Homo-oligomer: A and B are copies of this chain.
Amino acid sequence: MNFASDNWSGAHPLISQRLLEISSGFSAPYGTSEFDHKIEQRFNDLFEREVAVYFVSTGTAANSLALAAVNRPGGVSFCHREAHMLEDECGAPEFFTHGARLAPVDGENGKIDPQHLNDEIERFPPGFVHAGQPMAISITQATEIGTLYQPSEINAISHIAKKHHLPLHMDGARFANAVAALNQSPAEITWKKGVDIISFGATKNGCWCAEALIFMNPNMSKDLPFIRKRAAQLLSKSRFIAAQFDAYLQDNLWLDMAEHSNKMAMNLQNSISNSKNARLAWRTETNEVFCILDKKYAETLQKKGATFYTWNLPRSKLGLLCPNETLIRLVTSFATEPNEIAKFIDLLS
């Protein structure tokens, strides 16, 4: 019963097998082989337009280099107060941009509130050097707390981005879960709604190390080859990342895995909402279930073999807990088996 995180899972057998197949023979390094290019081009089909694709080794690298690509002196990027960039990357986005700031924006359910966003941006009058200058907006899809931006919500944010001439970045560490849950095409929920740059994560969803930084408009990334190399993110035997994406995107494997993962979470959620021993903190829409239970009860579950983390309550949810209670996070993945869910539900009741 491992619900600690989707990055505790390993690699899907089809991913591993593709890696194995690609491991013999010689191939041009540093992303210059035909194979690398072929896989990069598959993202054109996926996104229904010509995009620029850069493989990197971590999600933090993808997010940080996205900002580096649009960096400005005294730059300020706006993201949700609970964004991974702000909370979990040890200052990497600021480091790779030489100090460009991340400004937290509030919003319910892990999502930026458009009005707050606009207010925060307008704290920076154009040309007023003391405050700095806005440089980007970043949203996380699916969010850190398992919720989703609906396409119309992305639209509302990109409207503000355009008004202020700011690029819109999407941290898609769990992009597959979002696409699967929304049941819309990648194009439909990204550039058609105004998203400019995507951190397209595959590691959490069945790969072992495969992240792609994707620019909807290739011109926006003209310095990225140098930015990536200087960031120590140009992998020597890059074909091994390409191979993972090859298998990942083939025959819908990526969405099959995400759907499975989401479904497992929904099962968990349904059971918890019927449980007397726990209650949902909020409803998940993807593969992360957050629920509240008695602290001692949580420890009992852990002793009985359930692996999960207790979690900081988002600031917007303060007041949700009683003193004896704790918030826990349960994450499912492609590798979660139905019998683990069943076992956990048994424990809960």
- In the complex, A4 Cα to B28 Cα: how many Å? 8
Q: Which B residues lie within 8 Å of A223 (CB)?
A: 72-73
- Bound Cα distance A335, B23 (Å): 11
The answer for the CA separation of A99 and B68 in the assembled complex, in Å, is 12
Distance in angstroms between the alpha carbons of A74 and B228 in the assembled complex: 10
Interface size on A, residues (CB 8 A): 81
- Shortest C-beta distance, A224 to chain B (Å), equals 8
Say whether B10 contacts A132, CB under 8 Å. Answer: no
For A27, the chain B residues whose CB sits under 8 A away are 8, 10
Q: Using CB atoms and an 8 Å cutoff, list the residues of chain A in contact with chain B.
A: 2, 4-5, 7-11, 13, 15-16, 19-20, 22-30, 56-61, 64, 68, 72-76, 87-102, 123, 127, 129-133, 203-204, 208-209, 223, 225-237, 239-240, 307, 312, 335
Closest Cβ of chain B to A189, distance in Å, is 24
Contacts of A20 in B (CB 8 A): 16, 19-20
Q: Are B123 and A90 in contact (CB under 8 A)?
A: no
A157 CB, nearest partner CB in chain B, Å: 22
20 A-B contacts (beta carbon < 8 Å) = A8-B29, A11-B23, A19-B208, A26-B335, A64-B232, A73-B226, A73-B227, A74-B230, A76-B91, A88-B130, A89-B229, A92-B230, A94-B100, A95-B231, A96-B99, A98-B99, A204-B236, A208-B237, A208-B240, A209-B236
Considering the complex, give the chain B residue whose CB is closest to the CB of A11. B23
What chain B residues lie within 8 Å of A101 (beta carbons)? 91, 94, 101-102
Once the chains bind, are A90 and B2 in contact (CB under 8 Å)? no
Q: Which B residues are in CB contact (< 8 Å) with A26?
A: 2, 4, 8-10, 307, 335
Are the C-beta atoms of A229 and B90 separated by less than 8 Å?
yes
Nearest first, the 3 A-B pairs at minimum CB distance are A94-B99, A61-B232, A95-B99
Min CB distance, A232 to chain B, in Å? 4
* Contact between chains at A203 and B236 (CB < 8 Å): yes
Choose from B60, B230, B237, B240 the contact partner of A91 (Cβ within 8 Å): B230
